[in-house]
Chains A and B, each alone.
Chain A
Amino acid sequence: QKEVEQNSGPLSVPEGAIASLNCTYSDRGSQSFFWYRQYSGKSPELIMFIYSNGDKEDGRFTAQLNKASQYVSLLIRDSQPSDSATYLCAVARSNYKLTFGKGTLLTVNP
């Protein structure tokens, strides 16, 4: 079983729609959870982090965490073509190391 699993996609949504990105993890000791965005040819950039069960909203982005189900998701409302990128889910058990999923490619069509 992979430590962090994501659907590789591509996930294609029309402009203005809600994009839903999902991630499951295997380590029940994971304490913190992150979503990164990586444009082609660029380095990852942090979008959001979440530590507690429930939802966390930041602008058009909402992260959802369910530790019992070992599930993390990212919702992007009012998707824009500029949101087209690979979205990486990452989890951390300690403060020293992130374990990344392989990412989901999101395409937002104008």
Chain B
Amino acid sequence: KAGVTQTPRYLIKTRGQQVTLSCSPISGHRSVSWYQQTPGQGLQFLFEYFSETQRNKGNFPGRFSGRQFSNSRSEMNVSTLELGDSALYLCASSFGGVDGYTFGSGTRLTVV
């Protein structure tokens, strides 16, 4: 069965721009979570959606937002990009929650 698909794989943006990342979960999975991974901070939780509702949000500024569609696909948006937003953004899906997460391959965002 198809895994979690994230697009694009790589992205280069300029400071001040905004970016939208996409995540298509495994078929049947209704929970989608987003994490940011950097060498200094490791994996940090951004937010989690279940059936189009955000159930939890991490400690990131309001520039980071997300949404989930009725088909469980999810997008995250980062506005007014800063150099420190350069990271690997990982999406994970599961049927109900943290148990059984499957991660996508990630989107590598570079802000210049």
Contacts from A to B (Cβ < 8 Å)? 32, 34, 42-46, 49, 88, 90, 92, 94-103
Determine if B48 and A97 form an interchain contact, defined as CB atoms under 8 angstroms apart: yes
Q: Using CB atoms, name the residue of chain A closest to B98.
A: A92
B residues contacting A by CB (< 8 A) are: 33, 35, 41-45, 48, 50, 55-56, 58, 90, 96-106
A49 touching B99 by the CB < 8 A rule?
Answer: yes
Cβ contacts under 8 Å, A95 to chain B: 96-99
Q: Is the CB of B106 within 8 A of A43?
A: yes
* 6 CB < 8 A contacts A-B: A34-B101, A43-B90, A44-B90, A45-B103, A46-B102, A102-B41
Chain A residues, Cβ within 8 Å of B43: 44, 88, 90, 98, 100
A-B complex: 4 closest residue pairs judged by Cβ atoms: A95-B97, A102-B42, A96-B56, A100-B43
The minimal Cβ–Cβ distance linking B10 to chain A, given in whole angstroms, is 12
Most chain A C-beta atoms within 10 Å of own C-beta, residue among B48, B50, B101:
B101
**Of B42, B50, B55, B105, which contacts A43 at CB under 8 A?**
B105
- Specify the main secondary structure of chain B where it touches its partner: strand
Q: How far is the CA of A44 from the CA of B99 in the complex (A)?
A: 14
Which chain A residue has the least Cβ–Cβ distance from B42? Answer: A102
Q: With the chains together, A95 CA to B97 CA distance in Å?
A: 5
Bound Cα distance from A102 to B39, whole angstroms:
8
B45 touches A32 (CB 8 A): no
Inter-chain CA distance A57–B32, complex, in Å, is: 28
Whether B56 pairs with A43 at a CB distance below 8 angstroms is no
Residues from chain A with Cβ under 8 Å of B56 in the complex? 94, 96-97
Distance A101 CA – B35 CA, assembled complex (angstroms): 13
In the complex, are the beta carbons of A96 and B48 less than 8 A apart? yes
Contact A46 B101 (CB under 8 A): yes
Complex-state Cα separation, A34 to B106, whole angstroms:
20
How far is A52 from B9 in the complex, measured between Cα atoms in Å? 38
Given A88-B43, A98-B35, 10 additional A-B pairs, CB 8 A: A44-B43, A44-B90, A44-B103, A95-B97, A96-B33, A96-B98, A97-B33, A98-B33, A100-B35, A100-B42
